[in-house]
A and B are shown apart, each in its own frame.
Chain A
Amino acid sequence: MDQKRVELFIGPNHPGAAGNSCMHLWMEGDIIKHVEPEYGYLHRAFEKLMEHRNLMQNVSIIPRICVPEPDINEEVYARCIEDICSIEVPERAKYIRTMVLELARMAATFLNLGFMCGGLGIYTVMQWAFADRDFILDLFEWLTGGRVYHIFIIPGGVRRDLPSGFKARVEEVLKYIEARLLEYDRTFYHNSFFVFRTKGHLIVGEEEIKRYCLTGPAVRAAGFAIDMRKLHQYEAYPDIDFDVVTLKDGDAYSRMLIKRMEIEQSIDIIRQVLAKMPEGKVLNKPINYKKWIPPKGESYQVVESTNGEYGYYMRFNGESGNPYRVHVRGPSYTTGTALMQELMKDKPIEDMPIYLSSFGVCPPEIDR
């Protein structure tokens, strides 16, 4: 290594870093010359744990794989098992699942906004974001019983029906959030300090998207209309009318703006879901859960999370109720490792928290 290079660490304990991960930086003055990300601080060996528990016991530990947005784990797990065992999900359950996924998307976007403001030093908006996220968590608590980890979507449907008065309360919360978005625009998205820090920084173009296999807001901010909800028509999305949001520039400012525009899109989707929801039962319970042995088979299912494509691979060998192998694929596996080494070369160190928040790097997904 060069004599005038200095080695620095960001993390594992750092107020500006996301989660618990360590970035080794080699710097010349203010400019980063080489990044080596180090993960493994949050490793729990989920894939090994899931082989010791049977189908239904796994449902209680899988939300903990992706901490900001736990519902996508339950959704993809349930779809894998329904695919292998050929279980039909009732129509009403599909609409309830869609509503839960969109509410989780809004809560995760507010969390991401809060951490981005914490990293930049705009503490007013950080307090607003965490307080507004609590309205959505109160809705979850009424519906499922838990604020953060819900254990609500199980193979065969959802656990219980909507309580009476729930639809009216959801409509109140959506109206409140719509009114608040104007305040966020004035204070944050048009804030000249935020625009100066993010506009024109960390641009991702077509070549990087193809080489590093990106999905999610990074791709939509560069002008490509790729959304897993349109490509793999799952749950109630075929009946919902919505457009894929795109922008042109591909920089950090456009990525944050795409996430903000998707909050409005989520509000519109939830209103359509509540209006079109059919009546009926919500759970197709197949047989006794404790003695359930699925047939031999595999499946790979995908969902659109806040940061990109989120997938589960499952395999059963037909002899026991425990899965033979489960593999989790998160979107941070591409943005947190190889893309960081390429994009952060010759950039000043103050771009690091902007990188981590605008791409949504989530270390629990990488470590599992």
Chain B
Amino acid sequence: MSEKGIDLIKWLASQGIQAQDGPSKGIISLNVPREQFIFVIQSLHREGFDYLATITCVDLQNQHCELIYNVYSFDLNMRLFVRVVVGYEEKMPTVLHLWPNARFYEREIYEMFGIGFTGNPDYAKPFILEGNDPIEVKFPMRKSFDSIEFSQTNYGDRDYGSKKS
């Protein structure tokens, strides 16, 4: 890691954000509480981390989800994971003003996991699922949604007489 990268990590630690090594080599994770998220992400954007690869959402099964913002800097050749834990009913601030792509990333996260975003006017518009069919598919990527049972009930049982399943 370069000098400038080490300075950045020290400055963030002074603001109360601890960094940890991982997951893979060359990636550093920052655990950020929801209230400080906008401040951290705007500072990183100013310091050269202006490439947002994607926003990943992981369901933690205790009424909370973890959002991972995957940012990268070409000058320092360094990748950062900015992690925020947010509850099902809470709303996250949007990053639409920094990256216009986030409009579609946030739409997909709402459709699959149910997390709203303040500041993004069309986060609730359906993106992939059509949403007006008689059988309802609501927030399918949560762990509480059982897709095997859904498919066998609605689209026909695939057990053609085999005794194992």
Direct A–B touching, Cβ under 8 Å: yes
Complex interface bits, B108-149 against A, C-beta within 8 A gives 1, otherwise 0: 000000000000000000111110000000001100000110
Interface flag for B39 (CB, 8 Å): no
Given contacts A39-B128, A213-B53, A337-B104, contact A45 B23 (CB under 8 A): no
Interface flag for A281 (CB, 8 Å): no
Segment touching A, from B5-13, B95-103, B152-160: B95-103
Is B101 in contact with A337, judged by CB distance below 8 angstroms?
Answer: yes
Complex interface bits, B80-106 against A, C-beta within 8 A gives 1, otherwise 0: 010000000000000000011101110
Contacts of B162 in A (CB 8 A): none
| Interface residue SS majority, chain A | mixed
Complex interface bits, B24-50 against A, C-beta within 8 A gives 1, otherwise 0: 101100000000000000000000001
Is A211 in contact with B100, judged by CB distance below 8 angstroms?
Answer: yes
A contact residues, total (Cβ < 8 Å): 35
Interface flag for B56 (CB, 8 Å): yes
Whole-angstrom distance between the Cβ of A25 and the nearest chain B Cβ: 18
Q: Name the one of A45, A83, A334, A367 contacting B101, with C-beta atoms under 8 angstroms.
A: A334
Whole-angstrom distance between the Cβ of A65 and the nearest chain B Cβ: 14
Contacts of B104 in A (CB 8 A): 333, 337-338
Is A47 in contact with B51, judged by CB distance below 8 angstroms?
Answer: no
Q: Name the one of B70, B79, B100, B140 contacting A338, with C-beta atoms under 8 angstroms.
A: B100
Complex: chain B residue closest to A309, CB-CB: B53
Within 8 A of B (CB), among A201-231: 210-213, 226, 231
Is A329 in contact with B58, judged by CB distance below 8 angstroms?
Answer: no
Is B70 in contact with A300, judged by CB distance below 8 angstroms?
Answer: yes
Complex interface bits, A87-117 against B, C-beta within 8 A gives 1, otherwise 0: 0000000000000000000000000000000
Question: What 4 additional pairs, Cβ within 8 angstroms, besides A39-B127, A212-B100, A301-B24?
Answer: A231-B77, A297-B23, A313-B70, A325-B58
Which residues in B have some Cβ–Cβ distance to A below 8 Å? 22-24, 26-27, 50-54, 56, 58-59, 68, 70, 74, 77, 79, 81, 99-101, 103-105, 126-130, 140-141, 147-148
Could you give 9 example pairs across A and B, Cβ below 8 Å? A212-B100, A315-B58, A325-B58, A327-B54, A329-B53, A333-B105, A337-B101, A338-B100, A367-B128
Which residues in A have some Cβ–Cβ distance to B below 8 Å? 39-40, 43, 45, 47-49, 52, 83, 210-213, 226, 231-232, 297-301, 309, 311, 313, 315, 324-325, 327, 329, 333-334, 337-338, 342, 367
